[in-house]
Amino acid sequence: MAGGPVATGDGIGASAPKSKLAGILMTAFAAFGGILFGYDTGTISGIIQMDDWLRTFGNATTDTATYPLGYYLPSNRESLVVSILSAGTFFGALLGAPAADILGRRLGIMCSCLVFSLGVALQTGAPDMATFVVGRVFAGLGVGLVSTLVPMYQSECSPKWIRGAVVSGYQWAITIGLLLAAVINNATKDRQNHSSWQISIGIQFIWAFVLCAGMSYLPESPRWLIKKGKDKAAAKALARLTSLDAQDPEVEAELNDIRVALREEQALGESSYLDCFRFNNNKIALRTLSGIFIQAWQQLTGINFIFYYGTTFFKNSGIANPFLITIATSIVNVFMTLPGMWGVERFGRRSLLLWGAVLMCVCEFLVAIIGVTISVTNTAGQKALIALVCIYIAGFASTWGPIAWVITGEIFPLAIRAKAMSLSTASNWLWNFGIGYATPYLVNTGPGNAGLGVKVFFLWGSTCAGCFVFTYFCIPETKGLSLEQVDLLYQNSTPITSAKYRNELIAQDIHVSDYKGTADAHHDEKEATEKV
Ligand code: BGC
């Protein structure tokens, strides 16, 4: 309890001066992985509309009235090219677990860059559709791996007082990637040779190179090193991240906390996928399911409806250039992530998720109600709808966008973190795919379609209400706690009472090692050090 012998391990860099930026900058750099994610998901819809891409990979047609270019992409091929990335990302996210556990978080990210680059190379040099599609699969695997590994690395390495902001930086990079894709596609789309799409795709080598080269200079996650019994290396890594000496009592206390929490977990047995769903005092099943569902709910906010279909959907708004709508929504997305990065440490995860759900819910119901009331020729009304959609995006960008990643980075205990995070991330990609696939059928008119049109916003409004209920019952307040203190939070409080217990943990400086006794911990520490 408070005042216990080692009640000093406040989380990485707890008492290191906040001015020591080195560790923060290192973990913030890993956010660059978000650029790969955002750019790759954002670029394909523009590429498959480029003239030269259609001439190279599409089908020739004599129906030039419908297809003035003389080439078109049949729907089944369009959905193959677009959705095959999701298949890759889904499996990539799942592969993130063995990669993180076996190779380590840092080397795992570097290898993901290689897989991703292979996909980029195959797409850039593709002579035919088959090669292009295989390239999309590899790029998807790379993006999926990165989307599991980057938030994991960041959560495990950043100081606890700024962990939420650092992981939110990853979401910020995703939004920048989406914006870059829109801008670069627009800049190259009118070229009448292969360079139009080859530049857009090939530029991704730069993102992969920067991420891989940068990661080679960063330390490995001290938590992974402890898990592997490499205690000396863990001390060194933690010392680099905190700008302290490896023998500093602060570093030793932190490592001790990690070790005690891990040992307690491991005492319960193996950490297989089934163990991610154990009902025990540590509430593992609740934690894994919360991770899987928060990512599902993030997709169910309907955000990608706007990013994938918004342009077509709002073509009646009187804004002639659809590119402008894409740019406007992407810019709101980028800039409104910044208040989210600040707010996640100021107001906490839980309250921002709750408020974000309310704001998005109100906006979506207003869009639905106004949309069914006014006619499509009412240009002023249509512009009001776009304004509401922008407020909705602002709500997503400053809350659910970043915080879903922050939460999945911090609610799992070390023993199962890689597996549970990979399941959560895979859930994000599965829902991303499912919603993307189902939306045209829900919205469009004609046989086989539900013809919901603007009424689809009633659906998104209701799912945002679902986001509120889910957060209220399942997501605790984890702001400012070390990852090991999050274990105590789950053991001793419920999501609804968590804010109060969290305040106690912080006010009384309570730690895992205070609970479990330190003599044992020191004994283990010696043993583990000898193993290195
Ligand atoms: C989501 C993506 C979405 C993006 C928009 C991410 O957090 O997972 O599906 O496209 O945010 O910024």
Domains: count for the chain: 2
Under the banding of pLDDT at 50, 70 and 90, the label for residue 315 is low
Q: Which atom of ligand 1 is nearest to the CA of 337?
A: 12
Residue 262 pLDDT greater than 90, yes or no: no
At residue 12, the pLDDT reads 52
Q: Are residues 133 and 259 in the same domain?
A: no
Q: Which atom of ligand 1 is nearest to the CA of 400?
A: 7
Q: Which residues span the domain enclosing 334? A: 20-218+280-475
Q: Is residue 484 part of a domain?
A: no
Q: Which atom of ligand 1 is nearest to the CA of 147?
A: 8
Q: Are residues 28 and 66 in the same domain?
A: yes
Percent of the chain with pLDDT over 70: 90
At residue 518, the pLDDT reads 44
pLDDT in tens, 206-234: 999 999 999 999 999 999 999 999 999 99
Range name among 130-139, 178-187, 304-313, 395-404 with the lowest pLDDT average: 304-313
Q: Is residue 8 part of a domain?
A: no
Looking at per-residue pLDDT, the higher value among 71 and 518 belongs to 71
How far does the centroid of ligand 1 lie from the alpha carbon of residue 67, in Å?
Answer: 32
How far does the centroid of ligand 1 lie from the alpha carbon of residue 98, in Å?
Answer: 24
Atom 10 in ligand 1: residue holding the nearest Cα: 304
Looking at per-residue pLDDT, the higher value among 63 and 17 belongs to 63
How far does the centroid of ligand 1 lie from the alpha carbon of residue 274, in Å?
Answer: 28
- Residues framing ligand 1 (Cβ under 6 A): 171, 174-175, 178, 298, 303-304, 307, 333, 401, 428, 432
Question: Which residue stretches of 321-454 are H helix?
Answer: 322-346, 349-373, 379-398, 400-410, 414-443
Q: From 457, 475, 493, give the residue that closes a domain.
A: 475
Q: Are residues 90 and 109 in the same domain?
A: yes
How far does the centroid of ligand 1 lie from the alpha carbon of residue 401, in Å?
Answer: 6
Under the banding of pLDDT at 50, 70 and 90, the label for residue 525 is very low
Q: Are residues 320 and 444 in the same domain?
A: yes
Q: Are residues 288 and 430 in the same domain?
A: yes
According to DSSP, the residues that pair with 71 across neighbouring strands are: 60
Q: Are residues 327 and 258 in the same domain?
A: no
Query: What beta strand segments (E) does 68-111 contain?
Result: 71-72
Q: Are residues 211 and 230 in the same domain?
A: no
Q: Is residue 512 part of a domain?
A: no
Q: Which atom of ligand 1 is nearest to the CA of 171?
A: 7
Atom 3 in ligand 1: residue holding the nearest Cα: 304
Residue 194 pLDDT greater than 90, yes or no: yes
Q: Is 23 helix (H, G, I), strand (E, B) or coil?
A: helix
Q: Is residue 506 part of a domain?
A: no
Q: Are residues 151 and 255 in the same domain?
A: no
According to DSSP, the residues that pair with 60 across neighbouring strands are: 71
Residue 267 tokens, joined: 């005492």
Q: Which of 57-66, 434-443, 465-474 has the highest mean pLDDT?
A: 465-474
Under the banding of pLDDT at 50, 70 and 90, the label for residue 316 is low
Q: Are residues 287 and 250 in the same domain?
A: no
How far does the centroid of ligand 1 lie from the alpha carbon of residue 49, in Å?
Answer: 22
Q: Are residues 313 and 247 in the same domain?
A: no
Q: Are residues 202 and 287 in the same domain?
A: yes
Q: Are residues 347 and 387 in the same domain?
A: yes
Residue 319 pLDDT greater than 70, yes or no: no
Kindly provide the b/e burial profile for residues 496-517, where b requires at least 16 CB atoms within 10 angstroms of the residue's own CB.
eebbebbeebeeebbbbbbbbe
Report how far apart, in Å, the C-alpha atoms of 335 and of each of 46, 311, 349, 395, 415 are.
22, 20, 19, 11, 36
Q: Is residue 192 part of a domain?
A: yes
Residue 11 pLDDT greater than 70, yes or no: no
Question: Residue holding tokens 């169910």?
Answer: 300
Rounded mean pLDDT, 124-145: 95
How far does the centroid of ligand 1 lie from the alpha carbon of residue 397, in Å?
Answer: 9
Q: Is residue 42 part of a domain?
A: yes
Q: What is the CATH classification number for the domain harbouring 99?
A: 1.20.1250.20
Q: Which atom of ligand 1 is nearest to the CA of 402?
A: 7
At residue 26, the pLDDT reads 86
Q: From 207, 241, 266, give the residue that closes a domain.
A: 266
Rounded mean pLDDT, 108-115: 98
